[in-house]
């Protein structure tokens, strides 16, 4: 790899991290005059906590914008012809940037929406297929965290299967494994509460389970 190509690839990954770090939950809250999602519920800036702070419609808007971060990071690499490996690194960088935003003192969300956005570009069929998985688990349990964990695992497995069946680039296996691992890592406190039976169900009042 020559120096200009390496510089391009590094710039793409850094840009993807910064794109992922855009705190849409906080921006939407400020523009709408609503409370900062960091002051409510889990204190995170993703769609689930924005729903608690700002309501369903603005949560959908925030989630869509966060999805665009992951999709945009992968598309940036693709448009610049960087190859599958850099596309995957860009997607992972966007997930990390979302969860450890440089604009919020390394705070942020759980990484689910940008991961979905990256998957939507890398393998759209798998992205579409995991939506009902997320929905069924969420509706059955009312745990957004459990639905996210299950959906991310299903996405990783689905991507690995499709990559094997259709001879996709080996880098996609990296995304299939590392993407869900990052999401599970950023849900570590939710996992502990789920195991302890103290996780709060979506829509429950403070203090309720």
Closest by alpha carbon to 77, among 150, 19, 25, 24? Answer: 19
Output the pLDDT for position 84: 95
Residue 141: exposure state from Cβ atoms within 10 A (0-12, 13-18, ≥19): middle
Angle formed at CA 49 by CA 45 and CA 54, multiple of 5 degrees: 95
Q: What is the pLDDT of residue 3?
A: 92
Report which of 166, 8, 136 is spatially closest to residue 83, judged by C-alpha positions: 8
Distance CA 39, CA 47 (A): 14
**Residue 204: predicted pLDDT:** 63
Per-residue confidence (pLDDT) for residue 207, from 0 to 100? 45
Nearest partner of 145 among 181, 107, 176, 188, judged by Cα: 188
Tokens of 76: 């940036």
Q: What are phi and psi of 129, to 5 degrees?
A: -65, -30
Using alpha carbons only, what angle is made at residue 66 by residues 32 and 151, rounded to the nearest 5 degrees? 125
| Tokens encoding 64 | 């869509």
Beta bridge partners of 107: 101
44 conformational bin, left if phi > 0, alpha if psi -120 to 50, beta if neither: beta
Tell me the CB-side half-sphere exposure of residue 27, using CA atoms within 13 A. Answer: 10
For the chain, 209 residues long, give each residue's pLDDT as a single digit of tens: 789 899 999 999 999 999 999 999 999 989 988 888 888 877 788 777 888 888 888 989 999 999 999 999 999 999 999 999 999 999 999 999 999 999 999 988 899 999 999 999 999 999 999 999 999 999 999 998 999 999 999 999 999 999 999 989 999 999 999 999 999 999 999 999 999 998 888 766 544 44
Burial of residue 196, with CB atoms counted within 10 A of its CB: 0-12 exposed, 13-18 middle, 19 or more buried: exposed
In DSSP terms, 28 is beta-bridged to none
Instruction: Give yes or no for a contact between 172 and 86, defined as CB atoms under 8 angstroms apart.
Output: no
Residue 147 and residue 136: Cα distance in Å, rounded? 8
Query: Residue 38's pLDDT is what?
Result: 85
Q: Please state the pTM of the whole predicted model.
A: 0.91
Beta-strand (E) ranges in 72-208? none
């Amino acid at each position: 790899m020559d120096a200009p190509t390496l510089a391009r690839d590094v710039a793409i990954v850094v840009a993807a991290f910064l794109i992922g770090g855009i705190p849409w939950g906080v921006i939407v809250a400020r523009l709408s005059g609503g409370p900062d999602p960091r002051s409510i519920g889990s204190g995170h800036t993703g769609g689930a906590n924005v729903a608690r702070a700002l309501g369903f419609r603005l949560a959908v808007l925030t989630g869509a914008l966060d999805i665009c971060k992951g999709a945009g990071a992968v598309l940036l690499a693709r448009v610049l012809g960087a190859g599958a490996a850099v596309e995957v690194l860009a997607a992972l960088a966007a997930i990390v940037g979302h969860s450890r935003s440089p604009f919020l003192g390394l705070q942020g969300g759980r990484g689910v929406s940008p991961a979905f956005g990256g998957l939507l570009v890398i393998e759209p069929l798998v992205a579409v297929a995991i939506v009902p998985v997320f929905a069924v688990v969420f509706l059955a349990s009312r745990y957004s965290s459990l639905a996210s964990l299950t959906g991310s695992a299903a996405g990783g497995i689905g991507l690995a299967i499709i990559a094997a069946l259709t001879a996709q680039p080996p880098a996609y296996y990296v995304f299939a494994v590392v993407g869900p691992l990052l999401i599970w890592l950023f849900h570590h406190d939710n996992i502990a509460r789920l195991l302890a039976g103290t996780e709060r169900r979506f829509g429950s009042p403070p203090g309720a389970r």
